[in-house]
């Protein structure tokens, strides 16, 4: 079974709408990363969360990590076509630097 | 953010040949780098941890004799796919953390698409 579950797997939204992507683990995480990927390209770092209850924002993207450090959400406000891509959550389970990834959420934004 | 480069970005080779992929940290030193593989429409899977000056450690199910890793300097790790076969066709991505493991952001290279004919 997937250790990091992302939902939804795909998402189509109208430009200007808000959206949320979730990432859930059954185990406590020591670091939670959000990346964006366009198909066939590398990963663009968005944010890293380490503390329970932590919340970070960058431009129109906000990521939160719950108090138990088992669930994270990525929220995009007023989505734009430039937000389209695959969003991946990655987690460091044991402070060793090795990341496991969720299966990704493919976001399409309709103009 | 920190920059990680990979070379080549794409490579096509014949079955049975070997292919070398380079991963470089351009503006920082990395004692540890990671190699991931991504199949179409799937997520990234960690293959191995590359350690500068010592042997790489491989994840379960990854053949160390097939995927040779050399981390000869603090800015360069190489992955060599030996005797490549069509099932090795994939997207290979490396990552490195400027400040060390777990406490710092991991930055990823742009990836290398390998196609084995």
Summarize the confidence of residues B45-69 as an average pLDDT.
92
Tell me whether residues A92 and B110 touch, CB distance under 8 A: no
Give me the pLDDT at residue B7, please. 96
Give me the pLDDT at residue B1, please. 64
**pLDDT, tens digit only, all 111 positions of chain A:** 568 999 999 999 999 999 999 999 988 887 899 999 987 788 998 999 988 999 999 899 999 999 888 999 999 999 999 999 999 999 987 767 788 999 999 999 999
Give me the pLDDT at residue B72, please. 82
Q: Please check whether residue B108 touches A, CB under 8 A.
A: yes
Chain B residue numbers with beta carbons less than 8 Å from the beta carbon of A101 are 43-45
Nearby residues of B63 by Cβ (< 8 Å), 6 or more positions away: none
Q: Please check whether residue B28 touches A, CB under 8 A.
A: no
Q: Please check whether residue B23 touches A, CB under 8 A.
A: no
**Closest to B100 measured CA to CA, from A97, A32, A92, A94:** A97
| Burial of A78 (C-beta count, 10 Å sphere; 0-12/13-18/19+) | exposed
Give me the pLDDT at residue B47, please. 95
Q: What gap in Å lies between CA B71 and CA B73, rounded to an integer?
A: 6
């Amino acid at each position: 079974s997937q250790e990091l579950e992302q939902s939804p797997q795909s998402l189509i939204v109208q430009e200007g709408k808000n959206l949320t992507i979730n990432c859930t683990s059954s185990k406590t995480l020591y670091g939670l990363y959000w990346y964006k990927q366009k198909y066939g390209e590398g990963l663009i770092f968005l944010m890293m969360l380490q503390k329970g209850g932590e919340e970070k924002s960058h431009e129109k993207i906000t990521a939160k990590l719950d108090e138990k450090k088992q669930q994270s959400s990525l929220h995009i406000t007023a989505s734009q076509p430039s937000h389209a891509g695959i969003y991946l959550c990655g987690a460091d389970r044991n402070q060793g630097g090795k990341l496991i990834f969720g299966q990704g959420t493919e976001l399409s934004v309709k103009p | 953010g920190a920059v990680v480069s990979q070379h080549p970005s794409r490579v096509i080779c014949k079955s049975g040949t070997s292919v070398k992929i380079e991963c470089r940290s351009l503006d920082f030193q990395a004692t540890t780098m990671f190699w991931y593989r991504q199949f179409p429409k799937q997520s990234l899977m960690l293959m191995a941890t590359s350690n500068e000056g010592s042997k790489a450690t491989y994840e379960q199910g990854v053949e160390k004799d097939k995927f040779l890793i050399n981390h000869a300097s603090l800015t360069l790790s190489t992955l060599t796919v030996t005797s490549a076969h069509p099932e090795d066709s994939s997207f290979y991505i490396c990552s490195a953390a400027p400040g060390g493991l777990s406490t710092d952001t991991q930055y990823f290279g742009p990836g290398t698409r390998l196609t084995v004919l």
